[in-house]
Structures are given as C-alpha cells and as structure tokens.
Amino acid sequence: MELDKKIKRMDKRTAVVTGGSRNIGFAIADKFYKLGYNVAILSVTEIGNSAKKAAERIDDTGTRVIGITCDVTDELSVEQALQKANSFFGGIDIVVNSAGILDMSSIEEMSIEHWDRVLAINLRGTFTTIQKSIQYLEKSNAPRVINISSNAGRMGGFENGLAYSASKGAIIALTYGLARRLGNKKITVNCIAPGTIESDMSAARSPEVLEKLRQRFPLGRFGTPEEVAAAVCYFASEEAGFTTGSVLDVNGGLFMG
C-alpha cells in the first residue's frame, strides 16, 4: 500500500532535462520515465527534431514524455520551452541542466569566439534555465535543480580544453551560490561531477587519448550514462529534501576530495 502511494506521488512530478536527446541527458530522461515521472526533453537540434524523436524513443504515446526544441543560449527560447512544459504537464518539479559541449582546444589555439561559445552553452545556459524555472519550481512541493558539471571542473581535467574546465568549475560554484539563495524557497540545488563517460563526447577523442585517460581511473574503465542518471535520481527524489549545495562525484575514483 505504501509503495502504491509513493508511485502515485511520483506520477504527479515533472522533470525538465536540457540536452536530453542523447548521452547522459537521454539516460536521465529515460530513468525518470521508468520511475514514474513526467519528462520534458529539451534539445537544440532542430534538424531531425531530436527532442521529439528522443521523447518518442522513450514513450511514443506523447502523454508522459514530450520533446521541445530549445536553445539554452537564447533567453526567449528557454522561457518558451519552460512555458510549454509547464502548460502540458501542469507544473515543473525538477530541472536537470545537462546541455553542454566538449572543448578540446589547446591554450594556444583557443579563440575568444570559441571560449565564449563554450561558456554560453555550458554555463550561461545553465544559469538562464535555472533563473527562468524558479517561478515554476517554487510552486512545487519538492522542487529540485540538478546541474551536470564534470571531473574537469573539480581538478582542471587532463585532455580537455580550458574553456570546458572553466565552464564546469563555474557550474559547481553556481550550484553552491544558488543553493544558499534558493533555500528560502525550499528549492534544493545539487550537482553531479562525472568523470569520462561513454558517450558521443568521449567518442570524439582519439583512441590514444582515450587509453591514456582510461589508465588514470582506479577502477580501470569509463562510466556509463546510466550510472550518472542513477545519481541524479537521488537528488531528484523527495527523500533528498535535506540535501542541497552538494557535488556528487561519479568518476571511478579519478578525483577524491
């Protein structure tokens, strides 16, 4: 009976996942769906309508998972996407900021334009999505914000470019600051810092770089998107109501501290 009650409570909760059409974001959206949440997948790719296709891969009925095209660097696009999710499901309880791009530029090769683009997507997009979602989250009984950072944001990274490290480190700082400032609204703000995860991002590296990276991990392997999704689900749960301003490392032991 208690389990049935819990499932009914969860059925009423809605999660918005940016960058939810593939890799870590898709695994998070899929995990939420399997746990009984409603899910809005946000993705920037208009060609092929990646958000809608991702939603249909999870639930082709269009009732509990929807896809919305959204550019997190565009304030109006974010506002409209959140409005659509709120209107369709009748509320927003959880926001997961998973949209991001990898940077592999050397210090010498880095252009200002590239630096600005990485920070616009990874950092400003995260802040804008949170800022615009507050009006919906504060109406929830258990509002949650979960940011996806990176091991590179913890200790600088090894093979990635510094725009990526800077953006992911800033997301951790942003998590701390928002957790303090949104606590009075009962909105918890937490962060996941994955190590190298099997994904399109990791596949973009050369086999030699991947092997060098793999050897640095005490567990001797890379993580999976599903392992990151499991960590996100703790922060999203109603039972995590007293956890805020936390960074959970899902990195195979690469960073400990």
Which of 33, 37, 136, 164 is flagged as catalytic? 164
Question: Averaged over 130-137, what is the pLDDT?
Answer: 98
Assess whether pLDDT exceeds 60 at residue 1: no
CA-to-CA distance for 171 and 192, rounded, in angstroms?
Answer: 10
How many residues appear in the chain? Answer: 257
pLDDT band at residue 155 using 50, 70 and 90 as cut-offs: very high
CB-neighbour burial class of residue 191 (10 A; exposed 0-12, middle 13-18, buried 19+): buried
CATH class of the structural domain 2-250: alpha beta
Residue carrying the six token digits 């990635």 = 160
Separation between Cα atoms, residue 112 and residue 90, nearest integer Å: 41
Active site residue 176: no
Under the phi-then-psi rule, with left for phi > 0, alpha for psi from -120 to 50, and beta for the rest, what region is 48? left
34-81 pLDDT per residue, tens: 999 999 999 998 666 899 999 999 999 999 999 999 999 999 999 999
Amino acid letter, residue 18: T
Question: Alpha-carbon distance 234 to 244, whole Å?
Answer: 12
pLDDT of the residue at 6: 44
Domain chopping of the chain, boundaries: 2-250
